[in-house]
Amino acid sequence: MTQFLSTAELAKRWRCEPQSLANLRYRRDGIPWTKVNGRPLYAMADVLEAEQAGRTGFTWTRLETALGQVLQIDEKKAAKLAADLKRAMGDR
């Protein structure tokens, strides 16, 4: 039988806010999910696959993309801004 995680369980596992997962679902981004009795559930196999692929949590590449979209700047400027932030934060 397939094991599933709720949004709260996955958020705890990935150390993120449940709203972050809701945002990913809304944008049709992130890992696949299914709705059962009105609740989104994530198959454990998909969770493990995403973790192995390194698609969880914050990445500098995602920040760079978001900066470009939100600030409406070109890729080069977004990359420079992300690099400056990364340097300022000590590459956390």
**What are the residue boundaries of the structural domains of the chain, listed by start?**
4-53, 58-92
Residue 32's pLDDT is: 92
Token pair belonging to 21: 């997962």
- pLDDT of residue 91 exceeding 90: no
Q: What angle do CA 13, 15, 16 make, to 5 degrees?
A: 115
pLDDT tens column, 5-26: 999 999 999 999 999 999 989 9
Residues paired with residue 34 on neighbouring β-strands, in sequence order: 41
What is the distance between the terminal CA atoms of the chain, rounded to a whole angstrom? 39
Residue 38's pLDDT is: 95
Looking at residue 56, the DSSP 8-state letter turns out to be: S
Q: How far apart are alpha carbons 64 and 68 in whole angstroms?
A: 6
Residue 58's pLDDT is: 60
Sign of the torsion formed by the C-alpha atoms of 65, 71, 72 and 73: negative
Q: How far apart are alpha carbons 90 and 65 in whole angstroms?
A: 20
For 1-5, 8-12, 65-69, 82-86, which range has the lowest pLDDT when averaged over its residues?
65-69
- pLDDT of residue 68 exceeding 80: no
Residue-averaged pLDDT of the chain = 84
